[in-house]
Amino acid sequence: MIAVVVNTLTVLIGSLIGLLFRSRMKQNLQNALITALGLCTAVIAMMNALKTGDILCIIICMAVGTAVGEALHIEAGIEKSGDALKKRFFAGGNNSRFTEGFVTASILFCIGSMTIVGSLEAGLHHDYSIIYAKSTLDLISSMALASAMGFGVMASALFVLIFQGGLTLLASLAGPVLSEAVVTEMTAVGGTILIGLAVNMIGLGKERIRVANMLPAIFLPTVYVPVSNYISSLFR
């Protein structure tokens, strides 16, 4: 868990640095930084998504996972959490983009191959190198996001602690039964979700994609891959 704490601290530190320079940055520069970070997110997302060995896995998991997330109203729940944090700790000041920053940063910092594989390595083998590398990237990303979106990015550190910490603990329990194929497909589905986040950050869509409602899809390869392998074995 020490690596998760370090990751949380890097988000806090990066956010503080970004907030210090926020008042000195013009709006067009802030928007340009978000666009640039969105493009980088898109590249990382596509690299992760292309790791899949079964495109049908992505299609089914995304469809079912999104349906579950929509039914559970996950994004609305995260937004309500962001609003509650804003009212409790960050009332007043220029916080018009607080909830947007909280949701964007929470998803960006918690979804992707480094989060999934890093949590598995930490939980199974006590190897924290991947999460430490991710922490460095999150430090830079949080600086850019906080300078444009404000205190909501800092508040996302709490989500990082809970989500990534929970994933690490879960990995220590369930990791031994997860095959390499399952981890690969979880990474690929996570990459697909990140593409949606990148679209939001760049502002390509007419409406924001409710990316958080897609989060259940990440865990569905743990069911899909064994079932798919079993069905395939019946026709050999």
**Which residues lie closer than 8 Å to 108 by C-beta, 6 or more apart?**
41, 141, 145, 194, 197
- pLDDT, tens digit (0-9, with 9 covering 90-100), for 81-90: 888 877 776 6
Separation of alpha carbons 86 and 232, rounded Å: 50
The residue type of 207 is E
pLDDT, residue 45, reads 87
The dihedral formed by the CA atoms of 120, 125, 131 and 132, expressed in degrees to the nearest 10: 180
Q: Looking only at Cα atoms, what is the longest distance across the chain?
A: 65
> Exposed, middle or buried by CB within 10 Å (0-12, 13-18, 19+), for 64?
middle
Most confident of 10-19, 101-110, 124-133: 10-19
- pLDDT, tens digit (0-9, with 9 covering 90-100), for 46-85: 988 999 999 999 999 999 999 999 999 988 888 888 888 7
Give a three-class secondary structure readout of the chain: CHHHHHHHHHHHHHHHHHHHHHCCCCHHHHHHHHHHHHHHHHHHHHHHHCCCCCHHHHHHHHHHHHHHHHHHCHHHHHHHHHHHHHHHHCCCCCCCCHHHHHHHHHHHHHCCHHHHHHHHHHHHHCCCHHHHHHHHHHHHHHHHHHHHHCHHHHHHHHHHHHHHHHHHHHHHHHHHHCCHHHHHHHHHHHHHHHHHHHHHHHCCCCCCCCHHHHHHHHHCHHHHHHHHHHHHHHCC
More reliable by pLDDT, 54 or 114: 54
Per-residue b or e along 211-221, where b marks 16 or more CB atoms closer than 10 Å to that residue's CB: bbbbbbbbbbb
Most confident of 12-16, 79-83, 109-113, 174-178: 12-16
pLDDT, residue 90, reads 65
Model confidence at 94, in pLDDT bands (50, 70, 90)? low
- pLDDT, tens digit (0-9, with 9 covering 90-100), for 140-194: 889 988 988 888 899 899 889 998 888 888 878 876 677 889 989 988 998 899 8
What global pTM score does this model have?
A: 0.81
Model confidence at 93, in pLDDT bands (50, 70, 90)? low
pLDDT, residue 52, reads 94
pLDDT, residue 96, reads 65
Tell me what the mean pLDDT of segment 228-232 comes to.
Answer: 91
